[in-house]
Structures are given as C-alpha cells and as structure tokens.
Amino acid sequence: MSASHLAECHGGDIEALADVVGDFDAQSPEESAAFVLRTWRGIAETVGFEQELADAFAALRGTRLALVGQHAAALAAFERWSAKPRRPLSSALPAAVRAARAKVRHEVLLALGESRRATLWMIEESAARLPGRAYFERGPVTTVSGRAFLVDAAENFLHPARKSNPADPPGPWETPVILSLGTYPWVLGSRLHRTPPGLDWDTSTPWNPAGLAMRLAASLWQPLGNLQQDAIQVVQHYRHYSRAVDLALAPIPTWPNGQPGQLVRRGLRLHIDHGSLDLAGVNSSFGFLSATAHNFIIDRFATFFAVRRAHARIASQLPIELRRAIAHNPDPCLRRLAADPFTRGLSTTRA
C-alpha cells in the first residue's frame, strides 16, 4: 500500500494534516519508539507532567524495555500525576459526593472503552445506556447537578448541535453525553480555554477517571486502537473543527505577516514570537479558543492519521491481531487492505 492511503481515502487535507507530526516507518522499532517519545513529550509539555514523564523515561534507559516500554511508562506517569490534587478542594463538596462522582465517571469511561472501540474518538451516548445513567448521588449538595460530566450539546468547535432522543426515558440528562476523547483532556468543544476540563476530573481511590480517559485517548494512536477506530468519524470531526477554527481565526494574520508578539497562523498551528501561547487566543461565536488548546487538538488529529498512514502502508505485513482489526473496521476504504484470503475471511468471522 502506498503512502497516499489518506489522500486516496479521505482527501489531500487529511494527508497534509498527518504531515504536521511527520511520518515514520511502522516496521522500524526505533522509528516507532521515537514517534511515541515525541508524542508523549508534546502532551506532557502542554498538560504539565514533564518532570514525571522525564523521570519515567529515565528509569527505562539501559533496560530491555527502553524502546517498547515507553508508552506504558508514560501512561503510568500521567496516572500518578493526575491523582495528585493540583488545586485546593472545595469544602462545599463532601468527600463522599466527590468519590461518588469519580466512581460514576470512571465506570462510564470504562464501559465506553469496552463497547465503543470503532467510535471512541467522539462519544455521543444516551445517558440511559451508561452506567448509573451517568449520574451520581449528590445528597443535599446543591452546588453540583449530579450529572457526571458537563453538558456540551450546543454547536461548538468540536461538533454540531446535538439533541436528545425522544425515545429516551426522562432523567437528569436532557441531552446525550458528549465527550471528545480523541482530544482529551480538551473533551468539551465549548470549553477550549487554556485549562482543559478533563483535568478537573478528581481522583478518589480506586477511581481515576482522568487517568483512564488518557489511556483511552492514547489508545487511538497505538496500532490496535488506531486500526479499530473508524477514521471516517475522525475525518468528519476534524473538518467540522477546521471550519469552525477558520471562522474564529479569520482576523489572525498568516505567517510571515504579523508583528512581534502577535498571534499568527503558521500552517495549521498557531504561533507567537516573543510571547506565550498559553496567554494567547481568540474570541468567537463558539467562545474562547486558546492557542495552546488549538495546537494540542491539531496534533491529536494529526497523530491519529500519521499512525493510520504508517500502518496502512504495511497492512499485509502486520501481525494477525492488527489485520483482524482492519478486516472488522467500519471504514470500507481501510477494509480494502484486507487483501489476502486469510485476512478477508476475518471480515466474515470473529475468529
């Protein structure tokens, strides 16, 4: 399979998007490990666990896990970091209520990870079909709604407007539960501020919804999770995001235009000379768009498609588990790569 799989199946804009994070040879352990390392370092720098990640990688040096253990070490580093409080906890929310919320969040994410492998990038699910109806017992507390996640149904940067299904039974949710797990921790398209909402998901041992959400998000740029995900869904959400961002960034000059200290568009990313991206952004009809959040989201889309391209290129040489994922994927353009008789047979059997 040629490297033009993305262009042939999804268009030149998706091929160009993948180029944002570069290409790699999926058959090379060294190139694959280098890609994983770059990806995790970019995430850690943006999210804030650089030191924890550096310590985890340092512990691998000189061991036989130095290449293959990076991903697991990075996930463990984030889970440890995310479990630590980064701000004082409000006394208005009792520990028992906080624990109930963490438990429901964790159980919902766990269920989604088990049942939504092909559509994990963007979750849109009736609360009635989720554990605990995505609702936690809040007791007499009135400062929280009891819903496990914030409502995000209005049209925003990450998706069009969503409405509830009239057939759903009445409950605390009047709209679907919507989470952009592919861009975690920026999971809500109406809240793309510098501080991502997914980091506000408190831990209460043994439940760590933030750690689990990062694990699900990162699975989308690991070979198996990537080849299980329907790329058509990701393409649709990327193009929606791209259109919304183009409108929001219309007043922003394109590099090399602009003045020092002014926010500029440089390719698909935002850039600023002699200034901080963390302090930059634009207001729009969809709300504020942080420059840092935008670059992070672009990188998540780009990373997904870079991994898809690298493995589509060598589809016939992949291990059987990955070829099975290709054969079962909802995307017909990807399933075309199940060319050999054995792999073709996997599309009609769950062997």
User: pLDDT > 90: what percent of the chain?
Assistant: 77
Q: Minimal CA–CA distance to 42: which of 26, 53, 31, 56? A: 53
In three-state secondary structure terms, 275 is coil
Q: Are strands 281-284 and 269-272 parallel, antiparallel or unpaired?
A: unpaired
Cis peptide before 256 (omega within 30 of 0): yes
Q: Which of 242-246, 255-259, 289-293 has the lowest mean pLDDT?
A: 255-259
pTM of the shown model: 0.93
> What amino acid is encoded at 142 in this protein?
T
Dist CA 3 CA 195 (whole Å)? 36
Per-residue pLDDT reduced to its tens digit, 22-79 = 999 999 999 999 999 999 999 999 999 999 999 999 998 877 666 668 999 999 999 9
Dist CA 16 CA 12 (whole Å)? 6
So what's the pLDDT on residue 168?
A: 74
SS3 content of the chain, % helix, strand, coil (to 5): 50, 10, 40
CB-based contact 28:67 (threshold 8 Å)? no
Per-residue pLDDT reduced to its tens digit, 83-105 = 988 777 777 788 899 999 999 99
CB-based contact 74:35 (threshold 8 Å)? no
Look up tokens 């059997």; give the residue.
Answer: 349
- DSSP E strands in 148-241: the ranges are 177-179
CB-based contact 187:180 (threshold 8 Å)? yes
